[in-house]
Amino acid sequence: MRTLIISATPKTEGHSAELTAIAAEAAKRAGVEYEVLRLDELKLEACKMCGDGWGVCREKFRCAFDADGFDKVQEKLAWAEALVLITPVYWWECSESMKIFMDRVRRCEGSRMFHNLNDQSLLWQKPCVMVACAGGSGNGTLSALEQMDRFVYHCGGRFFDHIALNRWTFDHKKQAVEAAVYKMATEGGGARRV
Ligand SMILES: Cc1cc2nc3c(=O)[nH]c(=O)nc-3n(C[C@H](O)[C@H](O)[C@H](O)COP(=O)(O)O)c2cc1C
């Protein structure tokens, strides 16, 4: 399956960067087409909450301010058949670049459900591996994974795996990241919930 690896670390080295490289290696080993999208390089702007809270996203499933690179993100999501979301844990949550990405994509793709067009979502039934990596206290992986899980759910994606890592579990859990991405890229599948 064409696999899009979305990484939300601002660092080029470190645990999250290593996991991004591991996910890319797994997709390569699976023999599928893959791409790595580094959200921090893209520097998407936060949602501007147009109008009374809903903008054209609710009716047209696009963002009024998509020229900041968001249109390219949507193109990549349309291309992908499977997704890997990787975030460092900041303040018990996903990093800011992952939160901005999810906020904006969800407004466009999640809004399709108001029109019974869920099956046209760019994530529709696509399997997703979600990865949260905590490096400080080790707290916050579950809430970060839950944020990503809600995003995938709202957009109609499948969850394939949730993987939480911290400083103590990194070495054995990174093998789980490799295995999950390889299996998803090769076989697809994952839980269907909407
Ligand atoms: C703003 C900020 C907030 C953070 N909050 C947490 C946290 O809530 N829990 C935690 O275990 N680590 C926290 N950390 C540490 C990161 O999770 C750590 O950098 C992460 O494991 C990613 O590792 P990496 O930076 O080597 O990729 C935080 C780091 C930053 C920069």
pLDDT in tens, 65-87: 999 999 999 999 999 999 999 99
Architecture label for domain 3-187 = 3-Layer(aba) Sandwich (3.40)
Q: Is 88 touching ligand 1 by the criterion CB < 6 Å?
A: yes
pLDDT, tens digit, for every residue of 15-29?
999 999 999 999 999
Q: What is the pLDDT of residue 24?
A: 98
**Any residues with CB less than 8 A from the CB of 89 and at least 6 apart, and which?**
95, 132, 133, 134, 135, 136, 139, 140, 141, 144
Is the pLDDT reported for residue 42 higher than 80? yes
Is the pLDDT reported for residue 109 higher than 90? yes
Q: What is the average pLDDT across 8-13?
A: 97
Q: What is the average pLDDT across 182-190?
A: 96
Q: What is the pLDDT of residue 15?
A: 97
Is the pLDDT reported for residue 5 higher than 80? yes
Q: Does the model's pTM come out above 0.95?
A: yes
CA of 148 to the centre of ligand 1 (A): 17
Q: What is the pLDDT of residue 194?
A: 62
Mutate to test the pocket of ligand 1, among 9, 40, 90 (most ligand atoms within 8 A of CB): 90
Using alpha carbons, list the distances in angstroms from residue 96 to 67, 93, 111, 140.
20, 9, 22, 14
CA of 98 to the centre of ligand 1 (A): 14
pLDDT, tens digit, for every residue of 45-70?
999 999 999 999 999 999 999 999 99
The total of other beta-carbon atoms located within 10 Å of residue 175's CB is 10
Task: For residue 78, give the nearest of 38, 105, 117, 103 by alpha carbon.
Answer: 105
Query: What is the largest distance, in Å, between two alpha-carbon atoms of the chain?
Result: 48
pLDDT, tens digit, for every residue of 140-175?
999 999 999 999 999 999 999 999 999 999 999 999
Nearest CA to ligand 1 atom 6: 90
Q: Is 96 touching ligand 1 by the criterion CB < 6 Å?
A: no
Q: What is the pLDDT of residue 100?
A: 98
Amino acid at 103: D
Q: Is 156 left (phi over 0), alpha (psi -120 to 50) or beta?
A: left
Nearest CA to ligand 1 atom 16: 135
**What radius of gyration do the chain's Cα atoms show?**
16
Say if strands 82-90 and 127-133 run parallel, antiparallel, or are unpaired.
parallel
The whole-angstrom separation of Cα 82 and Cα 2 is: 6
Q: What is the pLDDT of residue 193?
A: 72
Task: For residue 162, give the nearest of 84, 76, 107 by alpha carbon.
Answer: 84
CA of 89 to the centre of ligand 1 (A): 5
Domains of the chain by residue range: 3-187
Ligand 1 atom with least separation from CA of 91: 8
CA of 63 to the centre of ligand 1 (A): 30
Nearest CA to ligand 1 atom 2: 90
